[in-house]
Structures are given as C-alpha cells and as structure tokens.
Structure 1
Amino acid sequence: MLDPLNVFLADLEVWVQGIAASLWVYPTLFTFTVIDGFFPPVPSESVVITLSVAAAAGAGPVLWIIFVVAALGAWVGDQIAYLIGRFIGTERIPFLRSGRGLKAITWARNALATRGASFILAARYVPVGRVAVNMSAGAVGFPQRRFMAFSGIAAIVWASFSVGIGTLAGQWLGHNTLLAMVVGVGVGLLMGFVVDRLVVWWSGRGHALEPFEPLPTEIAAAQEDEHLYDAAG
C-alpha cells in the first residue's frame, strides 16, 4: 500500500522542484485547489503541503502567498461545487451515484438539514466528504450567503493547517525533502480521517446547529438515496 504513495510523492517532489522557482507555481496551485473543490481525485492538500515543505527549505515559493492562493482557490472551488449542486444536482454526477460517493451524498443531505454550519466547516478536511457536502448544500437550498461565509472560514482554516503541516515538516526534516513530504502528507491524511470520525461521532450524539428548511424535492431525493444505498449495501 505504501509503494504507490511513495511513487506518487517522489513524482510530486520532482514536479515541485521543477516548478517551485517559477511564477507558474501560484497559478498551478490555484488551479489544483479550485478543481479539488468539485473533483476529489485532484490532491490539493498534497500539493499545498509539498509546496510548503519546499518553501520552508528555502526552495522557492513564498509561504504567505501559498496560504493566500490555497485559501482563495479552495473557496472558489467550494462555490463551484455549490452551484453544480444547485443547478445540475448531485444525481447527475457519476461518482456520487454509487459506492462511497452515494454514501457521502446520503450522509450530507441528512446532516445539512440540522447541522449545516458544523458540517461545512468539518467537511473541508475530508476529500469526498467536502464535495458531497458542498454540492448537497446547493441542491437542498442551503442559504448561499451563509454557505459563502462558512466555506470561507473553512478554506482559511484548511489552508492554515496545510501550510502549517508543510512548514513544520520542512523545518524538522529539511535535509530530506522526500521524507518531509511523506510525513507532512501523512499527517494531513490522518487529520482528514480523524475529522471524518469526529463528524460521525458528533452526528451520532444528535447535535443540531442552525436548521434550515430543505427543498421538498430534495427531501424526496435524500430518501431515494437512502433506499439506493441500502439496496447497494
């Protein structure tokens, strides 16, 4: 299992070293973080952490610019996901109609009705979870201004955390960039898992935050998703 991760990180290190000193590093980072907002296979956390490792080692990028670009890109990506959910709907997105994606959508639709703010903030750390929550927020009619505010806070905290992990890993293991990247990305993945478990635990305790009235059609859609997921499970 670690071999593919090591290969990916080694390739990422080569890519970062090739682009770190170029002005294209910031537009590229922005593109990664935007796309990751609605297409989870794009690994924006890994890119942010890796660039932060390089910056901490004095290899080119400026940390505060990495933070600003990452936060802005994450926020823009989240807005795109929200708009996709509002105008297209989650049922037309293939990877959200089966398996883990369907489970995430079912969970997100049910949770947003009673715990909208907390789930939008926490889901930023869970790659598939954030896409499901943000698209579902648009689909169920979660107020757009509130979504913009909550997702903005989430993007700032997420960028701070990712840059912080990369900086600490780079300062601690700056002589070994690849090892620093492995440690940094590993901690980032672990954080995503921990947040995911905490959200599940919080949900199980029945906490509620800022309820809103879901659209009637989306209540039916959530029920349909539950039936589909139960049948697939």
Structure 2
Amino acid sequence: MSGGAGPWLHAPLRELSFVVLDLEATGLDAHRDRIVEVALVEATPGAEPRVVLDTVVDPGRAMAATEIHGLSDWDVAGAPTFERLAPAVLGALDGRLLVAHNADLDLRLLGAALSGCGLLRAVPPHLCTLRLARSLGKAQSYELWALCDGLGVEHGPAHAARHDALATARLLRRMLEGLARVGVGTLAQLRAQGPAMGFLDALGLEPWPAAPRVESAVELRPRRGV
C-alpha cells in the first residue's frame, strides 16, 4: 500500500467514479490461457454506465471454454489481438479506480497479457465487487447474475464481457447506495470496521501512469448477436 495514493478511500460513496473491467478467456490459467473478449465501462455519479471499450480478441490459438463464454473461432476471426488493444486498455485505465467482479482473476489475466506485450505493470488500485459482497453479508450465491437478481439490478447474458461489465457497474453503485443509507460515508469508514475489510487496502495502490489515449487507433469488434 502506498500510504493513501488515490482519492477513492475518502471520497463520499455517492460521488465515487470508477472503470469496470470484464474479461473472457480461454481458461483460468493466466500464464497459459488467453483473453478472448474485453469490455471497459465508465461509471460516474448521476449518469448511466458508459461502455468505452467492447471487443472480442483474437487469442492467436484455437478457441477453448466456448461452453462458458459462447465464443467460437469464427466469432474472433479478424478481431484485434490483445497486443494491438493494449494501448487503448491502458489509456482507459490510467489514473482510474479499476473495478471487477472476481478482480483477482481478471487482474491476473490482464497482467499476463500486458507482460506478454512488454507492458509490465504493477497491480493498480482496484475494488472487487465479489469480495465486497462477501464482506457485507450472506447470499445464496455470489455469482454476478445472482447478486444482481437479489438486489434488483438489471443484467444481460452472463459471460458476455459488455453485459457483465455493465452489470458490475450497476451492482457496485447499488451496494454503495445501500452503504450510504446505513451511515457509511466512505470506503475508509468501511475499512475501519475490521480485518474482513482488508481487501479494501488495494484502493491505496499506486495508480498506473498516464498512457496515450488511442481509442480510435484499432478497429474494435463487439461480439455479434448480444
């Protein structure tokens, strides 16, 4: 922890801005498997979440885990490689709070992909909605769709990166609103409630350095049919 780098621990919960990352991959092994879809969604107070990047990715190998994410070799034919997408991903995340559902997995996949492009980065400031949900109470399931259903949050088909990222943004906003209603004003106050909230220390990591924004430098290929 950097000793408080980044404003997120002390920002009023209703004013928190963040960028949600969701990845689909050929498997769960960050060093062996490859990203096949990436979505980034920007969430700012008082506005609907906004998709800033949404594309399938050519993994450079035969597709796997199709039964999970629903993508085939045909779906990613002609899609950009992650190496071509990396500058746009970094540009969208620099200096921002990254949010993901099961952030440990997505950060491992992202880190391995960036390292493979020669763009090694330290773990950025991040907040995991899965760990936040587990720390706040019991649920029958902590799958993203189940948490959304339980809190009345709109969501689309599971394991489509754009829909999962939008659902994660809405879920976090709903959880933050609930915390604010019971008198929790900031994530720093939540962190002070005990060791179970230790995962919030990741909010104090050093933000990534600024990277050129090149959103139009590569042709994106959103998933067909969703």
Q: TM-score, normalised by structure 2?
A: 0.30
The structure in which a higher percent of residues are helix is 1
Structure whose residues are more often strand by fraction? 2
- Which structure has the larger Rg over C-alpha atoms? 1
By relative contact order (CA 8 Å, sep 6+), the higher-ranking structure is 2
The alignment's TM-score, normalised by the length of structure 1, stands at 0.30
